[in-house]
Structure 1
């Protein structure tokens, strides 16, 4: 198997002879075979072992086995113990996902602290096929159907060329000791269900199913590269950035024969799934105002564009401005001056500047987001208007309304920041001191 490993590394351009490696070894057959093979090569490597404390004495036995094995061969070993169940409960995720997050975070921390180049895991051809079937059941698109990639950033999977049967045969032939994981024989996890029940049925239909599926995944990996290049070209035609938001051109998508695919590829990195992409595509001709959510982002249908933005997290925050304050940086960059009202004074025509009567203000001023039901008296008007009606008149989009900051004095609206001051605080003939507040660009 060693010549096949060396050939695979060279063909896939996985490693250079000078690369320093962290081998993730659980103590199971697959990872022990990987360790044995790399012991015969010239790479500088260390071993990392995770104890997830999920199988009681078995987990501790795996750790003891790895300490003995590495001690026998003089291999530098790093061990990390995790409170996996507690982490899963805390994060609200499955045990399997928790273990994955914990181990990869630690692996990359090891790379950084040791100044090593890559983490190696013992994923093999059967893992690739199982992942392909899992992704097929989830509807992850062509990206998921290309299976597990042999190299992704600082993670390398050098055994993807080998089947589980080949790995087991190598271990038996070389009389390698390893630990059996009893959970691999349980049907609790989705992957084990596919491994022990579904794959054997496919192999009854065609004994070469796993090899054929692996070849198909390799073809799809190249197809994905062509596909992604086309998607990126299309994105340039309908996606623009505006501050912290992305704008998706609706007319472009309406004319596209594959709008749903473009929406999925555009929105998937922000937590939206294929079903949502379909709903969003169906909303292309709907009225403005429809909103779609992922865990982290929100997509709002405006008149001509979809607006993609992170979910607001600062809606309840209040920022206070004292009378002697000259500048603030959060939540907006603002500079403040107090000027004498004399014959040389000139009003600013810049909407980013508010000129107010200083003596009418009560400090501290409060800067916060608006709330439903609030009123103000727009400059030049005697009557009052709801803030929500003002936003409608000004044709604010939903994100623009939600991102609008309001300056208050003693609970009264002073300034819809960047748009309109309140008539009650305007400069009048008897004004003696001008409070000038100016929005500036954040550095």
Structure 2
């Protein structure tokens, strides 16, 4: 990996044979690297001995070292994670923060070929899609795994040949964890059946990765046809584009699996469901609206109570839906959904920007009578997601503007108007990310 010779590197080191060998290799290649060690406080005195070993190793290699202590058990309990998952989250979050703050180009980890096989088998036994069978990538964003092509046996041979010492983690011998059961009980049998197991596995993952590339290309082609709109609130898909596919369930799985959905038959049924039907995961939901399916995050109740107060001296203000600007003008020019003109003297400051509520009413511009906001949104045939994300600009609890949709008659500019205020929203359109 020639690019590593010109990079600033942080090496994740536990004290075990794999990461210690990687540290020695980096030193022998004169790479610009530092060590980063996590003390998870899970193995009593042994955790502190690992830390002391790392400090000695850093001095021996003459490299910088960073040590971080974690109350892993408390984090796991608070966030309802297994100890292993908690340690993983804490470890990678810290590495990434460290890399960002100190401008390291890459994070090196010491995963090897046997780790890759174990991960494959874990995913296989638990049930997974194609991506769960393609193995650990050598490069993933700024995480690089230089030892991935090498077996645990090859690493041990090298360590003994170079008289490299390391720390043994007693928990690696325990059969308590699935990975260890596979490592000590299943994989030895597989290697007995096929002594070239790791080579065969590498060939298989190469083929699976090639297939994954084909799947990705096909998925991208469907997405280009299916996506009709996306903004900071939602992504909308044409139902008909899924119905045209020979296997819509497979495509729906690949598109939405990273959003926490598991009810795949229900999601397929959503294609023919009535408007308003929705499927919910822990973080997101899919909503049927006419001939579209809308992907959105789950709205939080506190968001509906949030509001922004706008004083008379405000010229621009950042809001959840974009920049809201206020400008005194001499005359009305062409209006649009993103701007209105009002009689400034009719406003009572501070104005309030908030989401609409069930009891809200307004007098739509050009109409004589009042109308409930809920009825107006229904008549406009807005989707559930669009309704939930409709914001109001109000003055003394009176609606001035249903943002991006309709102004209120009571604040319009007339012949008696002395000061015209132009209010404009620069809508933000970021693609919804998970």
TM surpasses 0.5: yes
Q: What is the CA RMSD across the aligned residues, in angstroms? A: 3.4
Aligned counterpart for 2:51 among listed residues 30, 42, 63: 63
Confirm whether residue 234 of structure 1 aligns to residue 225 of structure 2: no
Structure 1 residue 59: deviation in Å? Answer: 0.6
**Does the 8 Å contact 2:110/2:145 carry over to 1?**
yes
Confirm whether residue 48 of structure 1 aligns to residue 29 of structure 2: no
Structure 1 residues 368 and 69: CA distance shift in structure 2, 3 A: closer
Structure 2 match to 1:334: 324
Stretch of structure 1 that moved more, 138-147 or 31-40: 31-40
Structure 1 match to 2:140: 152
TM-score, normalised to structure 2's length? 0.83
Aligned counterpart for 1:367 among listed residues 346, 350, 353: 353
Structure 1 match to 2:20: 32
Structure 1 residues 384 and 197: CA distance shift in structure 2, 3 A: farther
**Does the 8 Å contact 2:27/2:61 carry over to 1?**
no
Aligned counterpart for 1:288 among listed residues 275, 292, 305: 275
Structure 2 match to 1:307: 294
Stretch of structure 1 that moved more, 309-318 or 153-162: 309-318
C-alpha distance in structure 1 between counterparts of 2:9 and 2:351, whole Å = 57
Structure 1 match to 2:68: 80
Structure 1 residue 179: deviation in Å? Answer: 1.3
**Does the 8 Å contact 1:334/1:437 carry over to 2?**
no
C-alpha distance in structure 2 between counterparts of 1:434 and 1:291, whole Å = 47
Structure 2 match to 1:184: 172
C-alpha distance in structure 1 between counterparts of 2:55 and 2:193, whole Å = 43
C-alpha distance in structure 2 between counterparts of 1:417 and 1:350, whole Å = 11
**Does the 8 Å contact 2:227/2:236 carry over to 1?**
yes
Structure 1 residues 109 and 405: CA distance shift in structure 2, 3 A: closer
Stretch of structure 1 that moved more, 163-172 or 119-128: 163-172
Confirm whether residue 257 of structure 1 aligns to residue 246 of structure 2: yes
Structure 2 match to 1:7: none
Structure 2 match to 1:268: 257
Structure 1 residues 58 and 254: CA distance shift in structure 2, 3 A: same
- Structure 1 or 2, whichever has the larger Rg, is 1
Q: Tell me, which stretches of 5 or more residues in structure 2 are unaligned?
A: 429-434
Structure 1 residue 125: deviation in Å? Answer: 1.4
Aligned counterpart for 1:439 among listed residues 388, 400, 424: 424
Stretch of structure 1 that moved more, 159-168 or 387-396: 159-168
Aligned length: 424
Structure 1 residue 375: deviation in Å? Answer: 3.4
Aligned counterpart for 2:187 among listed residues 199, 203, 207: 199
C-alpha distance in structure 2 between counterparts of 1:256 and 1:367, whole Å = 43
Structure 2 match to 1:9: none
Stretch of structure 1 that moved more, 400-409 or 256-265: 256-265
Structure 1 residue 285: deviation in Å? Answer: 1.3
CA deviation profile, 1:85-107 (whole Å, cap 9, x unmatched): 34444544333233223333443
TM-score, normalised to structure 1's length? 0.81
**Does the 8 Å contact 1:323/1:364 carry over to 2?**
yes
Structure 1 residue 14: deviation in Å? Answer: 6.5
CA deviation profile, 1:266-311 (whole Å, cap 9, x unmatched): 2334x234x2454322211111222234444433222222222344
Structure 1 residue 30: deviation in Å? Answer: 2.0
**Does the 8 Å contact 2:332/2:341 carry over to 1?**
no
C-alpha distance in structure 2 between counterparts of 1:113 and 1:438, whole Å = 40
C-alpha distance in structure 2 between counterparts of 1:15 and 1:361, whole Å = 61
C-alpha distance in structure 2 between counterparts of 1:418 and 1:16, whole Å = 50
C-alpha distance in structure 2 between counterparts of 1:199 and 1:189, whole Å = 14
Structure 1 residues 397 and 112: CA distance shift in structure 2, 3 A: closer
C-alpha distance in structure 2 between counterparts of 1:70 and 1:363, whole Å = 62
C-alpha distance in structure 2 between counterparts of 1:14 and 1:140, whole Å = 34
